[in-house]
Structure 1
Amino acid sequence: MPRLLLVDDEPSQLKALQRTLRGLCPDLHMDLALGGEEALTHLRARAHDAILADLRMPGMDGLTLLGQAARWQPLAVPMLLTGVADFATAQRALNETGIFRYLTKPWEPELLRAHVCAALAEFQHRVTQQTQAAAWQAEQGVLSPQELERLRLEREEPGLTHVEWADDGAVLMPALDAHLPSMPR
């Protein structure tokens, strides 16, 4: 089942994106996130095929979010949506995050739908390439059975095998509440 993460700091924009993309393909699930921090919570919780994030958001902008998303879900296809299109920002987005598409607001509904369909197809292509490369490496004896299993687990649950190490060799664990949304006081 394909899964798309939509990220914007404006609830009305998120709903408009959701309406535009509703019925795009069978079984498409859309997660909505109000800003970068909420998007990271979604990314840590489940795998996504593609991410469409607004560029200008308070706190964490879209480029920063997509850069962090690539660490957790390297196969997810990143796309950037912006109300202010300029060449320097587009170039930075391509160089820093390897975005798949740089889209502008307001969007043309059919064009947006076509770009999201292309991103979902690109995700399938990336998964197929990774699977074929791992199979070839296994045949050549380059990958151990353990490494093949790690790749399989990482495809199913991105970030599962991601470990951060301290300088002294200790495993760094995220705070227990790092994946929970903040609670109102």
Structure 2
Amino acid sequence: MNQALQGSLLLVDDEVPITRALHRALRTPLGHRVNIVTCNSGEAAIGELMARRFDVIVSDLRMPDMGGMELLLLAADIQPSCVRMILTGTADFATAQEAVNKFGLYRYLTKPWDIDELVQHISSALKFSVEQWSQKDHALQWGASQGKVSAQTLEMHRLEALEPGITRVEWDAAGCVILPSSL
């Protein structure tokens, strides 16, 4: 496959053998420049999304505690630029349509997967993500050259791309920073 691919991929499924199989199946075709992280719950995935930027997230639909739809809705809030996909054993058109309409799902894929198709879809999503970031960077640089975007705004976008959520700070009535309960 294309060794020039780069980026980060988050795979989420409550079944450990599934995430292991996906990782094994994708590692070689995607190449060493794609960082693949696996999680076995929606909660663990949220932790990863809060900790670092991902280009693509692929989640199972039906998981205990937090299903794939809920996870991808939260992922859209945490990392709006992350390309979101579902890989599920349930081929339900109504659910797929709801997912696309609610949070701009990039692909709705079914299990069992065909590895060549899966690699093709994830490669496409990674390329799409890189193009999105490139377009944002060009727009910000153009805005800065036209005097429409400040250096502070450029730096804020750069930091947010590296560490999602870093620029979002909550303050209490006394002016103190409110730390997330997960710290």
- Residue of structure 1 equivalent to 2:3: none
Instruction: Select 1:97's aligned residue among 85, 90, 103.
Output: 103
SS at match of 2:9: strand
Instruction: Select 2:125's aligned residue among 109, 116, 119.
Output: 119
**Structure 1 gaps, min length 5:** 180-185
Amino acid at match of 1:60: M
- Residue of structure 1 equivalent to 2:15: 10
* 1:163 Cα deviation from its structure 2 partner: 2.8
Q: Percent identity?
A: 47
* 1:45 Cα deviation from its structure 2 partner: 1.4
Relative distance call for 1:91 and 1:141 in structure 2 (3 A) is: same
Residue 152 in 1 paired to residue 148 in 2?
Answer: no
CA distance in 1, matches of 2:13, 2:43: 11
* 1:142 Cα deviation from its structure 2 partner: 2.2
For this pair of structures, how many residues does the alignment match?
177
CA distance in 2, matches of 1:30, 1:87: 28
SS at match of 1:30: strand
* 1:164 Cα deviation from its structure 2 partner: 4.0
- Residue of structure 1 equivalent to 2:92: 86
CA distance in 2, matches of 1:126, 1:164: 28
Instruction: Select 1:21's aligned residue among 12, 20, 26.
Output: 26
CA distance in 2, matches of 1:85, 1:9: 18
CA distance in 1, matches of 2:18, 2:131: 29
**Structure 2 gaps, min length 5:** 1-5
Q: TM-score, structure 2 length as denominator?
A: 0.89
Amino acid at match of 2:96: A
